[in-house]
């Protein structure tokens, strides 16, 4: 077989390696990377080169389209990355959390579609993805933005695998590591000043839920009366609301949170006042 896989600089490459004799009897060798780096496409190219060799005496000769179609019809390259990205936005993102569905399209339109939109999905490889990451960096963005762009790209490629548009994920450059940050929290006096400054009762309750129960903003919006058990002094976080849409809490699971005494006391005072 004239097609074989080699490893070059840590990356697999499919190579056509054909030994032949020229019309004047001299030994010659055709050894080049396959034009398209998939096994079906490389084998189709091998057949075209061998047919050219038989017809013209050289695998380098161009065969006209009619003859090429008779030898081995070119395999369709499949949808482009841009077409898959459109399918992803229309069919997959609506199943995600509202924040994901709202934020991912910006990354797709800003960074991915302009650079990969016309590339067949099966040809999105290490080098093309690295070029996108470098473009994000060159624009003065942080490594967090590079990581975010890579995350969206990987999600689209996984979607393509699930839809059987590509057999598996290609080898991709590593994402920048997640930056570890030290959380900055409000001090006790700052929280109490916020409570004192809040004019509306619902604002004070929201601040207390965040302070004394550790709820996120979207979880506070999703809290309902039936989630509160005063006898057991617990809150059950069942849902969250973001951008007007109901979704699962951050962890993806319900959780029970104890209600601290100070929360109950302050809430009772607020009702009396």
- Where do the structural domains in the chain lie, given as residue ranges? 3-71, 81-162, 188-272
Using one digit for the tens of pLDDT, what is the confidence trace for 34-72? Answer: 888 998 888 888 888 888 888 878 887 655 555 455 444
pLDDT band for 247, please (50, 70, 90 cuts): confident
Q: pLDDT digit string (tens) for 169-219?
A: 999 999 999 877 777 777 888 888 888 888 888 888 888 888 877 888 888
Q: Give the pTM.
A: 0.56
The reported pLDDT for the residue numbered 270 is: 61
What's residue 264's pLDDT? 74
Please tell me the predicted confidence (pLDDT) of residue 71.
45
Instruction: Assess whether pLDDT exceeds 80 at residue 157.
Output: yes
pLDDT tens sequence across 83-126: 999 999 999 999 988 889 999 999 999 999 999 999 999 999 99
User: Per-residue pLDDT for 151 more than 90?
Assistant: yes
Per-residue pLDDT, 14: 92
Does CATH number 1.10.150 belong to domain 81-162? Answer: yes
pLDDT score, position 63: 54
265 vs 155, higher pLDDT: 155
Highest mean pLDDT among 12-16, 112-116, 224-228, 267-271: 112-116
Structural fold of domain 188-272: hpI Integrase; Chain A (1.10.443)
With vertex at residue 166, the alpha carbon angle to CA 163 and CA 171, rounded to the nearest 5 degrees, is 125
């Amino acid at each position: 077989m004239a097609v074989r896989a080699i490893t070059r600089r840590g990356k697999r490459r499919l190579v056509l390696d054909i030994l032949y004799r020229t019309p004047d009897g001299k030994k010659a060798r055709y050894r080049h990377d396959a034009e398209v780096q998939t096994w079906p496409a490389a084998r189709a190219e091998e057949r075209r080169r061998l047919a050219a060799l038989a017809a013209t005496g050289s695998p380098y000769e161009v065969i006209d389209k009619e003859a090429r179609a008779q030898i081995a019809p070119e395999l369709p390259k499949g949808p482009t990355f841009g077409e898959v990205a459109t399918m992803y936005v229309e069919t997959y993102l609506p199943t995600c959390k509202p924040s994901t569905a709202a934020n991912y399209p910006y990354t797709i339109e800003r960074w991915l579609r302009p650079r990969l939109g016309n590339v067949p999905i099966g040809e999105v490889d290490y080098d093309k993805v690295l070029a996108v990451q470098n473009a994000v960096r060159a624009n003065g963005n942080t490594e967090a933005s590079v990581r975010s762009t890579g995350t969206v790209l990987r999600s689209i490629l996984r979607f393509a695998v699930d839809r059987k548009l590509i057999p598996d994920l290609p080898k991709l450059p590593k994402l920048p590591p997640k930056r570890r940050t030290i959380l900055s929290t409000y001090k006790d006096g700052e929280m109490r000043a916020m409570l004192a400054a809040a004019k509306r009762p619902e604002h004070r309750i929201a601040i207390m839920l965040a302070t004394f129960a550790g709820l996120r903003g979207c979880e506070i919006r999703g809290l309902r009366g039936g989630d509160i058990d005063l006898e057991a002094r617990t809150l059950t976080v069942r849902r969250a609301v973001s951008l007007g849409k109901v979704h699962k809490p951050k962890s993806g699971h319900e959780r029970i949170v104890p209600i601290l005494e100070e929360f109950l006391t302050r809430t009772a005072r607020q009702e009396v006042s």
